[in-house]
Structure 1
Amino acid sequence: MAKSAVSARNHILRALSKWPQDAIRPQVQFQDVLRKRFESKPTSGGLSDQEELKQANALYSLIGNRYKKKYPITGTLLQPKSNPTYFTDLVRELQEAPNRSWLDRFMLRIKGVVRMK
């Protein structure tokens, strides 16, 4: 029983090592928080071995984009009639945000207040 608990914990820690880094908030990483939780406690909060293995499986499925592949988003779902470029603009903003200087961030804030286009 103890060997399977260690094995489940090792699966979780291995999955967390494969988790991508968050470029938006580099000082707070999801995998670091969970890694501390599973490394610090000899038992992970009263979870059974099966529950730990289910958590490891859920982490691996998220890392592998299992649900994105199983349920692809196609058609007009990504282009709402009210704002057809909303999701493409959102992805572009998320990609550009980590590389902005303080002046760029300040100008965007001013544009948001004044509503310049």
Structure 2
Amino acid sequence: MSQSTVAKHYTRILSLWPKDLLRPHAPFTRTIERRAVPYGVTPVSPLLEDSSKPTPTTDKTTDASVRPLRTTPQQELPQINALYSLLENRYAKKYPLSPGVLKPSSNPEHYDRLMEEIERAPRKSWWQAKVDEWKMKIRWQ
């Protein structure tokens, strides 16, 4: 496998990777970009480019994590395959969950409510989020 092939795979993975609406400030694509930069993939995230500049709160452990990875194209193949397997949901298809796992008898609507909350979270205002937080602290029963 050549460096250009690795770069093409990483570029394709980055174009297919879903956007993280819940945490737009910390997407997983930055991690993928960091692995891909040594192979010629240009980063899309502006914070990735600025991460090489030390900030006042940066310590020695974070500086070491910013250094480029030193791997060969052959060593990247398992990483690329792992990313493709996540994109294709191979594990969810191979090991499907039984309906009872997502509907526990103690609280059958828990996961449905959780998913609704996760879908609503990016559109909430600061005030709505605070009110919901206070509601969760008060027992209504």
Q: Which TM class, normalised by the smaller chain length?
A: 0.7 to 0.9
1:54 partnered with 2:52: no
Q: Indicate the residue corresponding to 2:103 in structure 1.
A: 79
For structure 1, which segment, 29-38 or 100-109, has the greater mean C-alpha deviation from structure 2 after superposition? 29-38
Q: Indicate the residue corresponding to 1:32 in structure 2.
A: 30
Runs of 4+ in 1 over 2 A off after TM superposition: 41-51, 112-117
Equivalent position SS for 1:29: coil
Q: 1:108 aligns with which of 110, 115, 132?
A: 132
Letter in 2 for 1:81: S
Q: Give identity over the alignment, percent.
A: 37
Backbone CA RMSD of aligned residues: 2.2
1:69 partnered with 2:89: no
Letter in 1 for 2:107: N
How many residue pairs get matched?
114
Structure 1 distance, partners of 2:130, 2:39, is 47
Alignment TM-score, normalising by the size of structure 2: 0.69
Q: Which runs of 5+ in 2 are unaligned?
A: 41-67
Equivalent position SS for 1:14: helix
Equivalent position SS for 2:119: helix
Equivalent position SS for 1:20: coil
- Asked if 2 retains the 8 angstrom alpha-carbon contact of 1:17 and 1:31, the reply is no
- Asked if 2 retains the 8 angstrom alpha-carbon contact of 1:11 and 1:53, the reply is no
- Asked if 2 retains the 8 angstrom alpha-carbon contact of 1:12 and 1:56, the reply is yes
Alignment TM-score, normalising by the size of structure 1: 0.81
Q: Indicate the residue corresponding to 1:14 in structure 2.
A: 12
Q: Which runs of 5+ in 1 are unaligned?
A: none
